[in-house]
């Protein structure tokens, strides 16, 4: 199983974002650096959920928001390593919709289950494969790095 | 102009996060990019040669799909082109 490294600050921030937007889904980008051991997440960028028609069970990030997040990441010497979103009152596991609409191969998709407004389980899934035809999610361990 | 390559496509662009091209239109820039890095073509375009539905291309802060001249829009050396695969999902329930 591959490992997604993440600072404690990022881990707590993305879980808190899911609690803030409950009962709607939150979403955002994970910014980091690529290492031999996989992505190391150092920062994050909150994004608005454009699916206001169905925000309790769908999320979408406006591409222009991603253009701006990537611009800021580049300024920090980081890259877009993946994305996070929440599943309100639903398990922290990818859905069919998540896989169909995932196109960032090699990136991490982090999902936090938020039950009755409280963040519970957070899981990460690597979008593995080399094309749209053979893409698949593979669960990753999340290694939360404590400050110090 | 500079074309910014998103993380998942960098392995098909020699590992680069950006590529400089000298074309004068968006279509020309994408053609120059895929001529230099042929493996990118199938990730960007469908069998009919059109941009895949989930691939967004932004000229600076403008979605190319909504520009009056679309991919025929002229570009200058100072412009940037960002390739951004779409981000969406959810429980769907």
pLDDT score, position A64: 95
Of residues B4, B43, B90, nearest to A98 (C-beta): B90
Q: How many domains does chain A have?
A: 1
Query: How much is the pLDDT for A19?
Result: 98
pLDDT digits (tens, 9 = 90+) for A32-77: 999 988 999 999 999 999 999 999 999 999 999 999 999 999 999 9
Summarize pLDDT for B22-41 with one digit per residue, the tens. 999 999 999 999 999 999 99
What pTM was computed for the model? 0.95
C-beta atoms of B84 and A70 within 8 A: yes
Q: Tell me if chain A has a CB within 8 Å of the CB of B17.
A: yes
Nearest CA in chain A to B42: A131
CATH architecture type of domain B2-85: Roll (3.10)
pLDDT for B92 beyond 90: no
Segment A4-27 mean pLDDT? 97
- Residues A7-30: what's their mean pLDDT? 97
> Could you tell me the residue ranges of all domains in chain B?
2-85
Are the Cβ atoms of A57 and B93 closer than 8 angstroms? yes
* Other CB atoms within 10 A of residue A45 CB: 20
Assign residue A54 the CATH number of its domain: 3.40.140.10
Q: Concatenate the DSSP letters of all residues of A87-99 into one string.
A: EETS-SS--HHHH
Measure CB to CB from residue B58 to each of A64, A80, A83 and give the nearest one: A64
Q: What is the pLDDT of residues A95-135, one digit of tens each?
A: 999 999 999 999 999 999 999 999 999 999 999 999 999 99
């Amino acid at each position: 199983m591959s490992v997604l490294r993440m600072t404690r600050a990022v881990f707590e921030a993305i879980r808190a974002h899911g609690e803030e937007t409950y009962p709607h889904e939150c979403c955002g980008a994970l910014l980091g650096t690529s290492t031999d051991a996989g992505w190391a997440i150092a920062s994050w960028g909150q994004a608005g959920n454009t699916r206001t028609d169905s925000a309790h069970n769908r999320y979408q990030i406006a591409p222009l928001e991603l253009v701006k997040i990537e611009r800021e990441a580049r300024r920090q010497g980081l890259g877009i390593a993946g994305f996070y979103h929440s599943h309100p009152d639903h398990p922290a596991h990818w859905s069919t919709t998540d896989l169909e609409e995932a196109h960032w191969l090699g990136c991490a998709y982090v999902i936090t289950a938020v039950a009755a407004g409280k963040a519970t389980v957070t899981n990460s899934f690597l979008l593995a494969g080399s094309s749209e035809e053979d893409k698949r999610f593979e669960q990753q361990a999340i290694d939360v790095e404590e400050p110090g | 102009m500079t074309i910014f390559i998103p993380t998942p496509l960098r392995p098909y662009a020699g590992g680069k996060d950006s590529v400089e091209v000298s074309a004068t239109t968006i279509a020309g820039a994408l053609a120059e990019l895929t001529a230099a890095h042929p493996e990118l073509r199938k990730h960007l375009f469908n069998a009919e040669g059109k941009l895949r539905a989930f691939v967004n291309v932004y000229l600076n802060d403008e979605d190319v799909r909504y520009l009056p001249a679309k991919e025929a829009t002229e570009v200058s050396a100072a412009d940037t082109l960002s390739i951004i695969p779409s981000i969406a999902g959810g429980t769907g329930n």
